[in-house]
Amino acid sequence: MAPVLNDPNYALFCVAGAVIVLIVLIAWLKIQPLIAFVVVSIGAALALHMPVDGIMKSVEKGVGDMTGSLAILLALGAMFGKLIADSGAAQRIAGSLIKLFGANRMSIALTLTGFIVGIPLFYNVGFVLLIPLIFSLMRQSGKPLVWLAIPLMCGLSIAHGFLPPHPSPTAIVPMFHADMGLTLIYGVIVGVPTLLLAGPVFAMTVKGIQANPPELFVAVQKSDDELPGTFNSFLTALLPVILLAGTTIVTMSGAVPQAYAPLMAFLGNPSIVMLAALVIACVTLGLARGANFRALMENSGLALREIAPILLIIAGAGALKQVLVDSGVSALLGTLLATLPVPPLVLGWLMAGIIRVSLGSATVAGLTAAGLVAPLVATTGVNPNLMVLAIGAGSLMFSHVNDSGFWMFKEYFGLSIKDTLRSWTLMEGLVGIFGLIFVLILSRFV
C-alpha cells in the first residue's frame, strides 16, 4: 500500500504539518481528540498520496490494533481503582503512612501515599480522592497547604506517566514491543528518585505560597471504623504490581522449567493480572466486609464511564500511527531520526515534551510521540522499556494553562495563576527533567 517517497523533505513536511494541525484542532478549536485524530489521519494520508480506497482501511486497522489489546486491561484497571477508592483502602493507606512517618516527615508520607495510591487509581480519581486528606492534615498540623499538596500530587503524576496499568505507558508498551513487567520495574527504579527530588525536596521551596481553598472542595472522609485493615489495604492495592513484577522476575530468573513457560506467560499477561487483582479485591475489600455483590458490581462498573474518553484518545492515536506506517513515512522517519546527533531516548523525550507543552494532554502527547519514534526503536536497538519511560517523562513536562490538571490544582487550592505556575507547573517540569536524567543513568546498566 505504501507509495514510493521520492522526496523525504515533503514527507517530513507532511508529518510536521499533521502534528501542528492536531495541536490546533485540540488545543485551540477544542475539538474532541478522537475526531481530531481521525481528521488529521485522513488529511495526512491524502497529502502522502496513499491510495484513496485504502485510507479508511488504515484508519480502522489502527483503531482496532491499538484498542484491541488495551480495552480489557484499562477497563479492569478502572474498575479495580474504583473499588480501592470506594472501599476506603486508599484513605487507610494514606493514614497509615502518615502515622508511621510522623508529623516531622509528613512530606515523605504524602509522597509515598501519592505514589502507592496512584498505581491503581487513574490520576483524576486519585486527585479528587486525596484532596480531603490534604485539607484535613492542614487543619491538624498547621502546615502550609501547597507544601503538603506538592509531594502527594507528584506521586500521582509519576505513577500516571511512568507506570502500567495507566493508559499512556500501557498503550506505548505494545507499540515498542516492550515488556510490561520490565517497564513497571524500571519505572519504579526511575520514579522513586525522581519522586523524592520533584516532591518533598522541591516542596521546601513553596512553603511561602498562600492557598485559599473554597469550602466546597473540603469533603468529609470516612470514619476509621468504616475503613478496611491496613494490611488488607496495602496488599490489595499493590497486588497488580506484585503479580506483574513477580511473574517477570521469576521468568527472567530461569527458575521456571521450559515446559511451564507458556503457563507463566499466561499468568503474567497484564489482563490476567488485572482480572485476578479485581476478583481478589472484590472479596477482600467487598464481600468479606459485608458488601452487597450487586452493589459492588454496579459501583465498579461506573468506572467504565471514566475510561471511555481515554480509550477514544488511544484509538485516535492508533489511526494516525497506522497511516504513518502504511504510507511508508514511519520507516523513513526512523531512518532519518537515527542519523540525528541526539540520543534516541532524549529525542523521544523531547518530542513528547514539545507536544505536551503545546497540547496539554499527557496521554495524547505520549501516544503521538510514540507513534513518531516507534521506527527509531527498531532501527537503533535502544531499550524499548526505557523509551516508554523517556516518553512518559516528556509527556509530563511543564503542565500549564492548556492542561485540565493545571486548573484542578489552581481551583482546589485557591491559587493565583502565578502561584500555580510557580508550584504545579514547575513540579511537573522537574518530574520530566529528572525522569529523563534517571532513565539515561539506568540505560548505562541495562
Each residue's pLDDT tens digit in the chain (446 positions)? 444 466 778 888 888 888 889 888 887 888 888 899 899 999 999 999 899 999 999 999 988 887 876 788 878 888 887 888 788 887 888 788 878 887 678 888 888 888 887 887 777 667 766 776 777 677 767 788 899 899 999 998 998 888 877 778 888 998 898 998 899 999 999 999 999 999 999 999 998 898 887 654 444 567 788 889 999 998 998 888 788 778 878 877 777 788 888 888 888 888 888 899 999 999 999 998 888 888 888 887 787 877 788 788 878 888 888 888 888 887 777 667 767 788 999 999 998 888 888 767 788 788 888 888 888 888 888 999 999 999 999 999 988 876 778 877 887 788 888 999 999 999 999 999 999 999 999 999 98
- Give the range of the structural domain holding residue 290, as residue numbers without chain letter: 10-443
Residue 417 resides in a domain: yes
The structural domain count of the chain equals 1
Residue 30 resides in a domain: yes
Residue 86 resides in a domain: yes
Residue 295 resides in a domain: yes
Separation of alpha carbons 1 and 184, rounded Å: 36
Residue 3 resides in a domain: no
Separation of alpha carbons 159 and 2, rounded Å: 38
Residue 387, helix vs strand vs coil: helix
- The answer to whether 403 and 201 are in contact (CB under 8 A) is no
| Closest listed residue to residue 320, CA positions, set 11, 106, 63, 68 | 63
- Range 96-100, long-range pairs (CB < 8 A, 24+ positions): 96/230, 96/233, 96/234, 98/137
Amino acid letter for position 373: V
